[in-house]
A and B are shown apart, each in its own frame.
Chain A
Amino acid sequence: MLKKTVIVRPELCVGCMQCMIRCAEAHSRTKTLASAIREEILAKPRIHIGVGPELKPFPNKCRHCEPAPCQEACMPWAIRSDIAEGLKIVDPARCIGCGMCAMACPYYVIRYYRDANAPERPGVAVKCDGCHERVAVGLVPACVEACKVGALTFEDVNLYLKEGTNRLANAAYGVRS
């Protein structure tokens, strides 16, 4: 079970798209915006702000499903769950860009771009990797760091669910001291 994960609160999103920029920066080779935009193969964001219900912004990123339909559809076993616990991560060296994962993903969070880790391929699957390298050194995922309005937070999913239950209970029955 995931200990901490990125929790998305779409109702708080203002659509500033800073998470997209920071995500791309964090997945660039140089990790700095000023130089990332000069790289030969541009790093791409793995989170996208789409137009949602009532034309409101909706931050859309990989849910790291279990079992993951993309992983089941992947023919070369390029989507791995053994790199970081609870995360489904694409290994660009194994990806052949066949598009099977996009055919299986119910959330439109896998896109195809050239990737600096597999420059010989015209397109490989690019999706959220949970910023596992950042998390391993004690940082929070880049999108969470960028979000100024609390639409993206890095929390324990069980605590988040408990908090939701409490809110619902409080709204229904009033707060007990």
Chain B
Amino acid sequence: MRYVVVGLHAAGRSACAWLRKADKTAEIVGVDPAPMPLYSRPLISYALAGEMAPEAMTVAGEDFWTNLGVRLVKEKAAFLDPERGKLTLASGEELAYDRLLLACGARPRSVEAGGSMSGEICFFRARHDLDRILARVNPGGIAAVLGGGLVGFKLTMGLLKRGMTVTLIVASPRPLSLNVDEHVGSWVGGRLANTPGVTLLTSTSVTSVEKGTSHPLRVALDKGGSLEVDLVAAGKGVVPETGWLSGSGLELDYGILADHFLRTSDERIHVAGDLAQAPDVVSGDRQVNAIWPMAVEQGRVAALNMAGVRTPYGGTMAMNSIPVFGSQMISVGAVNPALTKGCDLVTADGPRGSYLKLVFRGDRLVGAVGLDAPPRLGELAFAVRRGLRRRDLPDWWLHNPKSAAPLAAPGPSLARNAFLG
């Protein structure tokens, strides 16, 4: 049996490890133009902020692949022919497979800005993006950051720590509008506005990037006016890397459509990671959630299914956790006000200064957001997946989230069983 894994980042690595666990003798081929060094992509924001050296992003040595017995093909995949069961590489060579995993991820969403210097916009996804930004960082200089999501936020904080003055340009009315509820979003907005060195421009977009006079670049804003800056960095989300699959006949939507076993429309091809559009726990339809834990989990589930171990996928779900201004912000499931219209919001008690809100749609828990809350959002994420209902959430939990037992604690009926005998 020959397994071919395209893309060796979060999902691909996890898949290789689980394929090897499930099938000790199979041939595993990893296709990735740059499989080494083996680093963790989300850490680039920590490296930008100077919290870790760029070398510390490396999580394992080259022996990772040899220990797993994965043969590396350091090339880009160019075309897929599911009818013949062949993958064509950029060099024109063909690679036959018995089972294929597509885990080639996503690329940064481009910025719709014209101008002669729009190619100077730096994105923030991989190590080469970090190098590109670091080469342009100029302590005491000015940077423009486009995008008010988590990446935009991390870019802002990182560049600020590098000694730059940052203008954060957000198209929506408040930062983190997709990730958190109104309360946390406005708290972050307020803190950003009061941070020396940060200018927050909401409901604003960049129309063009031209050559500047006093600084290398000049960005023009849709509201009128322009800014002279040294660096333009954008974090406006990602787009699944599906372009090369358009002629393959696989069912594509925004990403590659996957069923409850992460199988694509071709039963020999599975998909995992940032390009998988898999069933979503909260919305019920198929969604791409381009986040690290989902990619690793999908890699595992897809690998087991590829190896013939029938493993249903619990469903994808939006979740995020970042330190903001010394506070810990975690959100799971649907918390964005646009998605939670008509939902019941329940605020849990907790230690002073903490904020923990649960979102119920009808009777069912669909999301939760916490700011400096006791670190039990994982428990709520698990509860969202299990479909916890409002009546099953005990008051002793809501009134004392700091020291209440986990929701998964055995209830009275189970405890009685233990008394048998």
In the complex, A102 Cα to B373 Cα: how many Å? 11
In A52-106, which residues have CB < 8 Å from any B CB? 52-56, 58, 60, 67, 69-70, 72-73, 75-77, 96-106
Asked if A139 is an interface residue, CB under 8 A from chain B, the answer is: no
In the complex, which residues of chain A have a beta carbon less than 8 angstroms from the beta carbon of B377?
Answer: 102-103
Binding site for A on B (CB under 8 A): 14, 40, 42-43, 46, 51-52, 56-57, 59-60, 292-293, 296-297, 300, 319-323, 326, 328, 330, 332, 374-379, 381-382, 394, 396, 400, 403-406, 408-412, 415, 417-421
Knowing that A50-B406, A58-B409 touch, tell me 20 more A-B residue pairs with CB under 8 angstroms: A10-B415, A52-B409, A53-B411, A53-B415, A56-B415, A69-B293, A73-B296, A75-B292, A77-B60, A96-B43, A98-B323, A99-B321, A100-B321, A102-B330, A102-B375, A103-B330, A103-B378, A106-B378, A107-B408, A171-B420
Contact pick for B293, options A49, A52, A100, A112, CB 8 Å: A100
Asked if A103 and B296 sit within 8 Å, CB to CB, the answer is no
Asked if A60 and B376 sit within 8 Å, CB to CB, the answer is no
In the complex, which residues of chain B have a beta carbon less than 8 angstroms from the beta carbon of A106?
Answer: 378-379, 381-382, 406, 408
Asked if A103 and B14 sit within 8 Å, CB to CB, the answer is no
Asked if A111 is an interface residue, CB under 8 A from chain B, the answer is: yes
In the complex, which residues of chain A have a beta carbon less than 8 angstroms from the beta carbon of B43?
Answer: 75-76, 96
Asked if A171 and B379 sit within 8 Å, CB to CB, the answer is no
**0 or 1 for each of A27-62: is its CB under 8 Å from B? (1 = yes):** 000000000000000000000111111111010100
Closest to A70 in B: B378
Q: From residue B47, how far is it (CB to closest CB) to chain A in Å?
A: 10
Closest to A59 in B: B405
Asked if A133 is an interface residue, CB under 8 A from chain B, the answer is: no
Asked if A102 and B321 sit within 8 Å, CB to CB, the answer is yes
Asked if B381 and A53 sit within 8 Å, CB to CB, the answer is no
In the complex, which residues of chain B have a beta carbon less than 8 angstroms from the beta carbon of A167?
Answer: 420-421
In the complex, A100 Cα to B417 Cα: how many Å? 35
Q: From residue A147, how far is it (CB to closest CB) to chain B in Å?
A: 16
In the complex, A33 Cα to B405 Cα: how many Å? 26
In the complex, which residues of chain B have a beta carbon less than 8 angstroms from the beta carbon of A51?
Answer: 396, 400, 403-405
**Interface on chain B toward A: helix, strand, loop, or mixed SS?**
mixed
Instruction: Given A72-B296, A99-B323, A103-B293, decide whether A53 and B418 contact each other with a Cβ distance below 8 A.
Output: no
Asked if A11 is an interface residue, CB under 8 A from chain B, the answer is: yes
In the complex, which residues of chain A have a beta carbon less than 8 angstroms from the beta carbon of B419?
Answer: 11
In the complex, A97 Cα to B405 Cα: how many Å? 23
Q: What are 18 A-to-B residue pairs whose CB atoms are below 8 Å?
A: A9-B418, A50-B405, A60-B406, A60-B409, A69-B293, A76-B57, A77-B59, A98-B321, A99-B323, A100-B293, A100-B321, A102-B377, A103-B320, A103-B332, A106-B408, A107-B406, A171-B420, A171-B421
Q: From residue B399, how far is it (CB to closest CB) to chain A in Å?
A: 9
Q: From residue B364, how far is it (CB to closest CB) to chain A in Å?
A: 17
In the complex, A24 Cα to B51 Cα: how many Å? 28
Q: From residue B354, how far is it (CB to closest CB) to chain A in Å?
A: 13
In the complex, which residues of chain A have a beta carbon less than 8 angstroms from the beta carbon of B57?
Answer: 76
Asked if A135 is an interface residue, CB under 8 A from chain B, the answer is: no
Contact pick for B378, options A76, A105, A171, CB 8 Å: A105
In the complex, A60 Cα to B376 Cα: how many Å? 13
Asked if B405 and A67 sit within 8 Å, CB to CB, the answer is no
In A106-130, which residues have CB < 8 Å from any B CB? 106-112, 122
Asked if B405 and A52 sit within 8 Å, CB to CB, the answer is yes
In the complex, A111 Cα to B378 Cα: how many Å? 12
Closest to B378 in A: A105
Asked if B379 and A107 sit within 8 Å, CB to CB, the answer is yes
In the complex, which residues of chain A have a beta carbon less than 8 angstroms from the beta carbon of B56?
Answer: 76
Closest to B419 in A: A11
Contact pick for A72, options B293, B320, B396, B404, CB 8 Å: B293
Asked if A72 and B408 sit within 8 Å, CB to CB, the answer is no
Asked if A16 is an interface residue, CB under 8 A from chain B, the answer is: no
Asked if A168 and B418 sit within 8 Å, CB to CB, the answer is no
Asked if A108 and B420 sit within 8 Å, CB to CB, the answer is no
Q: From residue B228, how far is it (CB to closest CB) to chain A in Å?
A: 34
Q: From residue A68, how far is it (CB to closest CB) to chain B in Å?
A: 11
Asked if A104 and B408 sit within 8 Å, CB to CB, the answer is no
Asked if B293 and A108 sit within 8 Å, CB to CB, the answer is no
In the complex, A169 Cα to B157 Cα: how many Å? 61
Asked if B320 and A76 sit within 8 Å, CB to CB, the answer is no
Q: From residue B397, how far is it (CB to closest CB) to chain A in Å?
A: 9
In the complex, which residues of chain A have a beta carbon less than 8 angstroms from the beta carbon of B412?
Answer: 53-54
- Give the 9 A-B residue pairs with the shortest CB-CB distance, closest first: A102-B375, A58-B405, A106-B382, A52-B405, A167-B421, A73-B293, A99-B321, A50-B405, A105-B378
Asked if A158 is an interface residue, CB under 8 A from chain B, the answer is: no
Instruction: Given A48-B403, A50-B406, A171-B420, decide whether A103 and B319 contact each other with a Cβ distance below 8 A.
Output: yes
In the complex, A50 Cα to B402 Cα: how many Å? 9
In the complex, A72 Cα to B261 Cα: how many Å? 18
Asked if A67 and B421 sit within 8 Å, CB to CB, the answer is no
In the complex, which residues of chain A have a beta carbon less than 8 angstroms from the beta carbon of B14?
Answer: 72
Asked if B421 and A108 sit within 8 Å, CB to CB, the answer is no
